[in-house]
Amino acid sequence: MGKNWARLALVSAAATAATMIPLAGTSYAAGCTAAGCDNKGPVTYGCDSEASTKKTLNSNGRVAELRWSANCLAGWVRITNKADPAIYDSTATIEKYNLDGKLLKSLAVRTPVGYNQSDWSNMLGGGEYKYRVCIRFDSDLYPLECSAKW
């Protein structure tokens, strides 16, 4: 009888372990949501996999996108350098506003060096806010440009 119990225990343990192994294509919950995502990385917290672009701004070969994750309820700016020569003389920001239009927070990322190179800011989160992206140049050669709020 001892051997049967041992076999039963072994089979039971194996069956339990098998149910804990993720299958290919399994989706995982985001690592943060809403304001809990503030100043956290979209890739690190799994918010980038299903994100979509809500606004795009092109200023002198620098393309800023307002990226939004519905699962994380958070957004960030992704900047791509399409300039020639591809120098990093600009910064992209994401701005978070309350519904009355008051700026609450902003996060920035430098334009990366190299043609067609991208980088992104950390996130700002919460579904009850408005967001926009801006591109600012280090010199006064080009004016500050911002997207409409979304």
- 14 domain-assigned: no
Provide the domain count of the chain. Answer: 1
Distance, CA of 48 to CA of 76 (rounded, Å): 10
Residue 77 lies in a domain: yes
Is 1 within the bounds of a domain? no
What is the structure's pLDDT at 84?
A: 86
Low-confidence ranges of the chain (pLDDT < 50): 5-27
Q: Which residue range is the domain that position 79 belongs to?
A: 27-146
pTM for the model: 0.78
Backbone angles phi, psi at 15, to 5 degrees: -65, -40
pLDDT of residue 3: 54
The answer to whether position 11 is within a domain reads no
Q: Quick one: pLDDT at residue 89?
A: 87
CATH number at residue 116: 2.60.40
**Residue 12 tokens, joined:** 């039971």
